[in-house]
Structure 1
Amino acid sequence: MFSFPSTELVSSHAGIPPSISSLFGTNQVPSLVDQQYVYDILLGCKSELGGVTDELCRAHAEVERLEGRLGQIKGVISELEALLHPIRRVPTDIMAKVFEHCVYESQGYARLDIKHAPLSLSQVCRSWRKLVFALPCLWKMVRVDFSTSSPNWYRLMQSQATAMRLWISRSRSVPVSLFLTSFNRVIPSPFLALLDMEIMEAGPRIRELSLRFPTSSLCRLLSFTQGPLEFLEYLHLQSTDTLPGSHSIPPLVLKSASSLQSLNISCFDLDMRGHQVPWAQLTELSLRDGFSPIGDQAPSDYLPILIQCPNLRTCSLGFGSSIPDMISDSVTPVVLPHLCTLKMLTYAETPYLKLFFGALLLPKLRSFSINYANSSIASHFHETECLQMLNRAAETVESVSLCRMDVPDVELSSCLSQLPHLKSLRFRPGRLGLNHDLVAMLTVPSSVTRHGGRTLHQRTICPSLESLDLRCSAAVPVDAVVALVDSRRQFEPRLKHFSLQLAEFAYEHDRGDEIIHTLEARLSGHVDKGLQLILTM
């Protein structure tokens, strides 16, 4: 809507008689005499408007000039302050440490991306760029993922391989770590040949090498094993296949890997026969034989390998296929005098596992975990020979994790009662073993008392327990769970972490929620005093 100017504002303009200004803001028609006055005044106002407009333009130009001058002064101030900034006086060796921290401590690793260090650091200024490219330590590690769904993926792979070569060249003579991955099932042969050549050329300087590719591609990237590998300490070969195929990793020949300490191989149809590896110098070993319900798979007998690894500290094994029955008399005891950690993943319950556990002698075992990975609801794992292995190492075991194992209460109680130094216990049975009695077993008897400033543990199972993770049926009594936590929080060492997963069927869901809310309320006092409590379904 049109808005008339106020009468006071217009009347204040010189030369406008009251007879005209009084008509402002009204719909009245001026007289003939006043109309002539209006024309004359209008011409004068338009002439004055032009002058004011010109003056305003000159004022705007002056403002722009002053703003430009202001920007110039600020720019000079910024440059002068930059000259005095302490960063200019930081010694090169300190800057090198800062850059190295930025690459490996902040990010965890380096990758081919201009948005991440060290490439991002090289875009700050010329001096930083020069320093970044002059520091081999910034280019000693790189992760490259060749997986892509781009229509130009072959060209993209080639450009990444070229960038990786340039990256490695900047590391000069420093040993390098390469972590290369691709989930593309079909990779062109020319690219595999190019990548294989790049790895082989870098082989004499490789300290860590991880290759995660489909098995068919992985088999064509192993030429580096034929060359010198004097710096190689860590080797990881993993198949990214989801189902077994017609290819399998050929036997490795690593006679020149005099520094190799860690070996990790994971694939379907893993057959370790024929591998020539400096087993005796390994301190870490991970062998995972994938499982598939289709296709024939070669058995994985790890005992002949382990007997050659006397210096192992950590071992992780995956049993994916059934091994033909072996005669127990033909199994040679395997002593691993330095092994501290043993992790196992099994997909099948076979007589071989009993022989395997029976052959192991682990005098310094501290941590043991086993996971039965069969996802079938009805599947459950009854093999308890591992408990006897634990009893043989009872004086050193501090951590035990048993997942999807349905162990009878009597056998479980017998095993745990012989582990006086156990600090961490994780027991998550399958559906058919949820109604176990472990909650009552682990409750400290009320007769346990202090004497002479220390706690007596004559009848306590796992008296050193500090972390407990259980999976139970929703039928577990709330009072029993509270009694367990109460008793374990009264004496030293106190329970610090308690996790309970209530496994139940759909029709029990409401009861599970009720139990969790009740436990949270009744255990809140312990939580306030530092207990880490996790209750889930």
Structure 2
Amino acid sequence: MQNFLNNLQARTKTADFQRLLQSNERPTEAQIVNIRKTMLAEAMQRLSELHQVWETLQQIIDDCKTVVSPMRQLPPEILLEIFHWTIADQEYVDVFCIKSVPWTLGQVCRTWHEVVQSDPRLWSNLLVRGFSYDRNPPQEPLSMLKTALRLSKDRSLSIRCSFDCDNLLEMEKERNAIQEKWPNLYNPEEDNIITLNHRVLQLLVDNSRRWKNARFRVDDYAYLSMFNAAKGKLDRLETLNFGMIPGWIDDELIPTFDAFAVAPKLFNIELSRMGRVKPVLPYEQLFSARMEWCDRNVLEEHLVTLHEMPNLQEYDLDGFDYEMRELSEPGFIHHNALRVLHVCTPGALTNLVLPNLEEVHLKAASLDEICRFATLDKLPGLIERSGCSIRKLTLADVLESSDIIPVLERTPNLNELHVELNHWHYETDEFMAVVARYLRIRKDGREMPVALPRLHTLTMSVRGSPKWDIPFDLPISFLKKRMAEMIRDRWNIIDGSGVNRLKSVRIYVSVPSRYHIAPYDEFIAGIEELQKQGLDISIVIKAGHETLYGL
């Protein structure tokens, strides 16, 4: 190689070559042919050979680095800890997706495979998604599920499972009817997706004694009888989230559903859109319950259920029965243990007496105008009847500006106030302004008590999108100098005055464009120093995808 370079360089040092190189003189045809066919061609050939040598050497270097990589020298326990960090943000293992972790980690090498299979913690949170005709199963899906269950050993399981198959039942019913009349139209070996889903559920039920947290969504009443095989085996179950998406099966065919009737550690349940299904549950031992429904005229049923849950501390009623005013049985429903109430419609507030209620989370049905304007005015009645002391209040998507003051006047011991308007309405700005004015500390020389003297946490959040909500007709303008003064004055309250300092403030505003928010410079100028003084404050103002201000 060195001789070749010396020879080639010598040929470029000749007088003729140097003269052509240093001038703009045209070479002769003979000189062109000589340079192209000898010097240039030989140099390019050698360069190509060197490139190949470079690539070969680079591959050897990379392979050597791979072999001696520190990652290969890590002890299994360190490697396992890294794996746990890798899946820290992944709540569940997608059992039927070979590209998900930890399946992928186990395919890297034999050592990784052994490590992944050695720790049941990696396999104790399982996501099981049922199949449909437009979502084909992988090869050996039952084997994959059996493997995941085997690798979890005897560890308690968190299961998240859905058999919402989008009209699969109707298609299967029609197909079976046709096959019964013309049996030769179908291959008897053709995969039956519903049968596969049933076998998947059967495997899960076979391991029900290990269920700790279970979330199921099903669209076939036939699944309920399969669940019943778990009855009496649920000694570890602590949390249940169960939802129905009823199919074509007639109401009279609904089986008894008592799979979860015996579960000594079950304290938390969520039931979603159960329709006519009435599950048998250990209501008397529950601490928290959430009921979601979309049918009308069933709120009373969920309120009366309170009699069966004497130990219930948190109840979330998520439905749309805003018209209900009186129970079929005269009188109010009393419950002495309930501390936290989530409601979204006024009907839930008009028939309860809750003397130990401490938290109210009121979220109006955001897309229902009647509900947004007919809910808040029922809350004072609940508080007065109950004689309770509210410590935490969340108002989401209620827009009754004239009714907010009576509520705040009846919550003098309030510690936390969260006002969240997630769907734009033209009265949003006024609602926020009324809250801010009420919280101001008066400085006009008159002795007036401070509103909400126990308040230490405040959240005010406004979001809006003209694509889905009513278009903005005026800019948001509640971020003013006086609001900054309110925050500053409540932060500067002297200890020992009998009034709590404001310790935490969260303000979030998101509008479609700059036009939709009024100037807020005076507001910002009045609060920026408070963060340096120790106030836990966060302010985000966004217009579309642009962040206009962040603190």
Q: Is the 8 A contact 1:132 1:138 kept in 2?
A: yes
2:451 maps to which of 460, 468, 476: 460
Judged with a 3 Å threshold, the aligned counterparts in structure 2 of structure 1 residues 457 and 285 are, in CA distance, closer, same or farther, namely: farther
Count how many residue pairs are aligned between Structure 1 and Structure 2.
Answer: 468
| Aligned twin of 2:175 | none
Judged with a 3 Å threshold, the aligned counterparts in structure 2 of structure 1 residues 447 and 220 are, in CA distance, closer, same or farther, namely: farther
| Aligned twin of 1:333 | 334
| Aligned twin of 1:397 | 391
DSSP-derived class of the 1:290 partner = coil
TM-score between both structures, scaled by the size of structure 1: 0.70
| Aligned twin of 2:294 | 290
- Amino acid of the residue matched to residue 107 of structure 1? Q
- Amino acid of the residue matched to residue 156 of structure 1? P
2:203 is the alignment partner of 1:198:
yes
Q: CA deviation at 1:534?
A: 5.1
1:140 maps to which of 124, 129, 144: 124
Q: CA deviation at 1:60?
A: 7.1
Q: Is the 8 A contact 1:215 1:249 kept in 2?
A: no
| Aligned twin of 2:354 | 360
CA distance in 2, matches of 1:308, 1:97: 45
Q: CA deviation at 1:189?
A: 3.6
Root-mean-square deviation over aligned CA pairs: 4.7
- Amino acid of the residue matched to residue 421 of structure 1? L
Deviations 1:396-426 (A, max 9, x none): 51233253353744x7335435333332231
Q: CA deviation at 1:159?
A: 4.6
| Aligned twin of 1:488 | 487
Deviations 1:367-416 (A, max 9, x none): 3112231624455314634334345465451233253353744x733543
CA distance in 2, matches of 1:169, 1:288: 35
| Aligned twin of 2:80 | 96
Q: CA deviation at 1:171?
A: 1.1
2:91 is the alignment partner of 1:108:
yes
Judged with a 3 Å threshold, the aligned counterparts in structure 2 of structure 1 residues 298 and 50 are, in CA distance, closer, same or farther, namely: closer
Q: Is the 8 A contact 2:310 2:335 kept in 1?
A: no
Judged with a 3 Å threshold, the aligned counterparts in structure 2 of structure 1 residues 426 and 195 are, in CA distance, closer, same or farther, namely: same
Q: CA deviation at 1:215?
A: 5.4
| Aligned twin of 1:165 | 146
2:411 is the alignment partner of 1:418:
yes
- Amino acid of the residue matched to residue 336 of structure 1? A
2:367 is the alignment partner of 1:375:
yes
CA distance in 2, matches of 1:470, 1:461: 20
Poorly superposed stretches of 4+, deviation over 6 Å: 8-11, 48-57, 241-245, 470-477
Say which is worse superposed, 277-286 or 301-310, in terms of deviation. Answer: 301-310
Superposed counterparts of 1:257-276, under 5 Å: 257-267=263-273, 269=275, 272=278, 275-276=279-280
Judged with a 3 Å threshold, the aligned counterparts in structure 2 of structure 1 residues 50 and 186 are, in CA distance, closer, same or farther, namely: same
Deviations 1:11-62 (A, max 9, x none): 738xxxxxxxxx97579xxxxxxxxxx8xx999x79x9789989997x6798
DSSP-derived class of the 1:488 partner = helix
CA distance in 2, matches of 1:477, 1:70: 65
CA distance in 1, matches of 2:165, 2:73: 47
CA distance in 2, matches of 1:98, 1:214: 39
CA distance in 1, matches of 2:38, 2:27: 25
TM-score between both structures, scaled by the size of structure 2: 0.69
1:81 maps to which of 58, 68, 74: 68
DSSP-derived class of the 2:204 partner = helix
Q: CA deviation at 1:201?
A: 0.8
Q: CA deviation at 1:243?
A: 12
Q: Is the 8 A contact 2:206 2:230 kept in 1?
A: no
- Amino acid of the residue matched to residue 521 of structure 1? D
| Residue segments in structure 2 that go unaligned for 5+ positions in a row | 1-11, 18-24, 169-192, 464-471, 492-500, 532-536, 544-551
- Amino acid of the residue matched to residue 109 of structure 1? Y
2:439 maps to which of 432, 438, 442: 442
DSSP-derived class of the 2:80 partner = helix
Judged with a 3 Å threshold, the aligned counterparts in structure 2 of structure 1 residues 215 and 319 are, in CA distance, closer, same or farther, namely: farther
Q: Is the 8 A contact 1:444 1:488 kept in 2?
A: no
Judged with a 3 Å threshold, the aligned counterparts in structure 2 of structure 1 residues 385 and 189 are, in CA distance, closer, same or farther, namely: same
2:243 is the alignment partner of 1:238:
yes
Q: CA deviation at 1:289?
A: 1.6
Judged with a 3 Å threshold, the aligned counterparts in structure 2 of structure 1 residues 467 and 75 are, in CA distance, closer, same or farther, namely: closer
DSSP-derived class of the 1:342 partner = strand
Identity %: 12
DSSP-derived class of the 2:206 partner = helix
Q: CA deviation at 1:284?
A: 2.4
Q: Is the 8 A contact 2:126 2:158 kept in 1?
A: yes
CA distance in 1, matches of 2:60, 2:263: 63
Deviations 1:159-217 (A, max 9, x none): 54442232112212112221112442233542342233122211112222211233557
Judged with a 3 Å threshold, the aligned counterparts in structure 2 of structure 1 residues 377 and 477 are, in CA distance, closer, same or farther, namely: closer
CA distance in 2, matches of 1:332, 1:240: 30
| Aligned twin of 2:498 | none
CA distance in 1, matches of 2:461, 2:248: 33
CA distance in 2, matches of 1:476, 1:134: 59
Deviations 1:325-360 (A, max 9, x none): 4266554521115x3x321233xx54x7411x2x32
CA distance in 2, matches of 1:290, 1:237: 15
Say which is worse superposed, 226-235 or 66-75, in terms of deviation. Answer: 66-75
| Aligned twin of 1:498 | 507
Q: CA deviation at 1:65?
A: 9.0
CA distance in 2, matches of 1:431, 1:242: 37
Q: Is the 8 A contact 2:480 2:523 kept in 1?
A: no
| Residue segments in structure 1 that go unaligned for 5+ positions in a row | 1-7, 14-22, 28-37, 450-455, 503-508
| Aligned twin of 1:12 | 16
- Structure showing greater radius of gyration is 1
CA distance in 1, matches of 2:229, 2:38: 85
Judged with a 3 Å threshold, the aligned counterparts in structure 2 of structure 1 residues 169 and 399 are, in CA distance, closer, same or farther, namely: same
CA distance in 2, matches of 1:406, 1:65: 77
DSSP-derived class of the 2:100 partner = coil
CA distance in 1, matches of 2:43, 2:85: 60
Q: CA deviation at 1:64?
A: 7.8
2:107 maps to which of 123, 129, 138: 123
